[in-house]
Amino acid sequence: MTAPAADSPVLLRAEDVRVVYRRAGRRTEAVKGVTFDLREGRCLGIVGESGSGKSSLARALLGLEPDAATGRVLFRGRDVLTMDRDARAAFRREAQMVFQDPLGSLNPRMRAGDALAEVLLVHGRARTRREAAEQASEWLSVVGLDADYAPRYPHELSGGQRQRVNLARSLCTGATFLIADEPVSALDVSVQARILNLMKDLQRTRGITWILIGHDLAVMRAMADDLLVMQSGGCVESGPASAVLFAPRHPYTRTLLSSVPDVPSSLSRRFAT
């Protein structure tokens, strides 16, 4: 499989993005000036230890930290942090977050099909309930779930199936850019590989651009075209994933890598296709 072109147009450019939380007189610099380009159709992995600012950066990129984020986040050339209401509404359809815990982010009292139908109606993708239900079934099939799953409640689905519904819900707005924050860390290893393969397929067949946040370097090796390593709110190293993983320049990246016993062989075991 070939990686998406490294010279496709830049979809998102982060320039000196900072996130500073102020709460009860305390000031936390969660992100300390991160700059990178993400090209269309590629998957950027963001790794770093717990508390290094990965989720804060992700929220800032989606315009979800209006009080804490500064810098520039250019999406198709327009700054997410300062865009007007109309531009923001369009951006919200195109850029979506996928969370780690699908049970926590799905409404327990809503059937899978209805959860998708609601999003389709809210975003104006469907005009009638009936149209929304039809489209919901199509989106379920895109993520590998047949029509039998539409009437199921979240507790009637496995963790992997819930994450599929969650992905469908993010995609059905017409999203082309997804940020997945630890999307598989709550799942069994065998299920992880299937969800990651689905994400890879969506990248390949639908041209979805991803940011994938995680701790697991074997996952990053399998998924990421580019990699950004964070430490204490800053970016210590970034570049093509193969270069960062196999010829890391920064001592912190080397430390991260040395904590994974054998990246290539653990990979081939887990992601053999």
Ligand X SMILES: Nc1ncnc2c1ncn2[C@@H]1O[C@H](COP(=O)(O)OP(=O)(O)OP(=O)(O)O)[C@@H](O)[C@H]1O
Q: Are 139 and 164 in contact (CB under 8 A)?
A: no
CA distance 90 to 173: 10
Residue 23 lies near ligand X (rule: CB under 6 A): yes
Least spacing, CB of residue 130 vs ligand X, in Å? 41
Residues 6+ apart with CB under 8 A from 178: 95, 96, 97, 98, 167, 170, 171, 208, 209, 210, 211
Interaction pattern, residues 53-72, with Mg ion; x per rule: CB under 5 A: --x-----------------
Residue 185 lies near ligand X (rule: CB under 6 A): no
Residue from 21, 35, 40, 185 touching ligand X (CB under 6 A): that is 21
| Distant-in-sequence contacts of 238-242, Cβ < 8 A, 24+ apart | 238/36, 240/6, 241/45
Least spacing, CB of residue 92 vs ligand X, in Å? 20
Residue from 48, 154, 183, 248 touching ligand X (CB under 6 A): that is 48
Nearest residue to 81 via CA among 63, 95, 64: 63
21 binds, among Mg ion, ligand X, none (CB under 5 to 8 A by kind): ligand X
Identify which range of 50-58, 78-86, 152-160, 250-258 contacts ligand X by CB under 6 A: 50-58
CA distance 41 to 10: 10
Residue from 18, 42, 54, 221 touching ligand X (CB under 6 A): that is 54
Which tokens sit at 195?
A: 């969800």
CA distance 163 to 169: 10
Residue 183 lies near ligand X (rule: CB under 6 A): no
Identify which range of 43-51, 72-80, 129-137, 218-226 contacts ligand X by CB under 6 A: 43-51
Identify which range of 48-56, 85-93, 100-108, 167-175 contacts Mg ion by CB under 5 A: 48-56
For residues 51 and 251, which CB has a smaller minimum distance to ligand X in the complex? Answer: 51
- 55 backbone φψ class: left, alpha, beta (φ>0; ψ -120 to 50): alpha
Residues that bind Mg ion (CB under 5 A): 55
